[in-house]
Amino acid sequence: MFRTLGGMRTRPTLSWSPTEDLPPGTTDLGPVADALRSGGVLVLSGAGISTESGIPDYRGEGGSLSRHTPMTYQDFTASARARRRYWARSHLGWRTFGRARPNAGHRAVAAFERRGLLSGVITQNVDGLHQAAGSEGVVELHGSLDRVVCLSCGAFSPRRELARRLEQANEGFAPVAAGINPDGDADLTDEQVGDFRVVPCAVCGGILKPDVVFFGETVPPQRVEHCRSLVRRAASVLVLGSSLTVMSGLRFVRQAAETGTPVLIVNRDATRGDRHAVTRVALPLGAALTTVAGRLGVPVDDGVASGAG
């Protein structure tokens, strides 16, 4: 029997289109610099911060949703065929995903944290690049691809251990993927997936799932409450590289706005949270955050020593 780790299941929201006139984005970084100078900034990051590391986002220009439908919790738990397809694609993607390195945006966030300008970092990403850049205490809202959980007994295990077992069970599996997605899923055809062998939980023989929140699955309530407490303590909320399409991230922007906490957004495209924000800066994240760091006299690592693993 499956254990629902995230509580209630919801229908996934895969796209969003503005239904109202939103103010255009700006190139003025002044309000972002002022907020960081004052301190107490809570960062909420999305897939857009990792695009400069070679990981595409979901909804921006060239985003993966234009060619790829993410796995949903409902499909994963209901179909052995869907799980075979997921693990084949994820196993191949993991090899590429693990080679991604933090970019200037991740390094700037870590630098702001070291200077004491941030009250916390919440990321919707599952790539671990904030931690690889040196950020500490990052709340992984949607989990992390480097852990695996059993849906029957709840046992956790390292992804590298599963990767080793899958390599042994699928010797010679090395198809060429058409692309990699923000969830670590590689683009493969059904023919390339073939008869890929999925391995069970080493503890109870149950079904293994990455410790991430799939589309259609709910973030664990205790994690949501922890994030809400971070929003309550924040002087301002800085959204970096997120369209805020899904409620899991948007709810914190709404919470901040309802209590008068300023929300600032750096994202090239319009977002679902724009009407709650005092500004949206429409600039590339790496360059924008590096510029802000320079204005504040905050040194940012050049990335030579940074790694994702």
Strands (E), the chain: 41-45, 118-123, 139-140, 143-150, 156-158, 208-212, 236-240, 263-266, 279-281
Between CA 167 and CA 4 the distance in angstroms is: 28
The band of 58, judged by pLDDT with boundaries at 50, 70 and 90, is low
Q: Domain for residue 278, yes or no?
A: yes
Could you tell me the CATH number of the domain that includes residue 215?
Answer: 3.40.50.1220
pLDDT above 80: residue 15: no
**Between 117 and 69, where is the model more confident?**
117
The confidence score (pLDDT) of residue 62 equals 47
| pLDDT tens string 149-202 | 999 999 999 999 999 999 999 998 887 766 677 777 787 888 888 889 999 999
Catalytic residue list contains 91: no
pTM: 0.86
Q: Domain for residue 263, yes or no?
A: yes
Q: Domain for residue 179, yes or no?
A: yes
Query: Do 88 and 284 form a contact (C-beta atoms < 8 A)?
Result: no
The confidence score (pLDDT) of residue 11 equals 43
**Between 146 and 208, where is the model more confident?**
208
Strand partners, 26: 281
Q: Domain for residue 308, yes or no?
A: no
Q: Domain for residue 242, yes or no?
A: yes
Between CA 293 and CA 97 the distance in angstroms is: 28
* Farthest-apart Cα atoms in the chain, separation: 57
- DSSP states along 134-170: T--S-EETTEEEEEEEETTT--EEEHHHHHHHHHHHT
Whose CA is closest to 113, among 209, 17, 36?
36
H/E stretch holding 292 reads helix 285-296
Catalytic residue from among 68, 106, 130, 142: 142
Q: What are phi and psi of 28, to 5 degrees?
A: -80, 110
The confidence score (pLDDT) of residue 16 equals 59
Domain that holds residue 83: 30-296
Between CA 158 and CA 288 the distance in angstroms is: 35
**Hey, CA dihedral for 173, 174, 178, 180, is it positive or negative?**
positive
Q: What is the mean pLDDT of residues 69-82?
A: 90
| pLDDT tens string 98-156 | 788 999 999 999 999 999 999 999 999 999 999 999 999 999 999 999 999 999 999 99
Between CA 226 and CA 43 the distance in angstroms is: 14
Total domains present in the chain: 1
Q: Domain for residue 276, yes or no?
A: yes
Q: Domain for residue 206, yes or no?
A: yes
- Count CB-CB contacts under 10 A for residue 268: 19
Query: Do 1 and 77 form a contact (C-beta atoms < 8 A)?
Result: no
In which residue are the tokens 């995903």 written?
A: 97
Of all residues in the chain, the percent with pLDDT exceeding 90 is 68
Torsion angle, alpha carbons of 4, 85, 64, 254, to 10? 0
**Between 60 and 108, where is the model more confident?**
108
Q: Report the length, in residues, of the chain.
A: 309
Q: Domain for residue 123, yes or no?
A: yes
Between CA 269 and CA 61 the distance in angstroms is: 9
* Range with the poorest average pLDDT among 15-29, 43-57, 116-130: 15-29
One-letter amino acid at 273 equals G
* Range with the poorest average pLDDT among 95-99, 258-262, 270-274, 283-287: 95-99
Q: What is the mean pLDDT of residues 32-58?
A: 93
The confidence score (pLDDT) of residue 220 equals 94
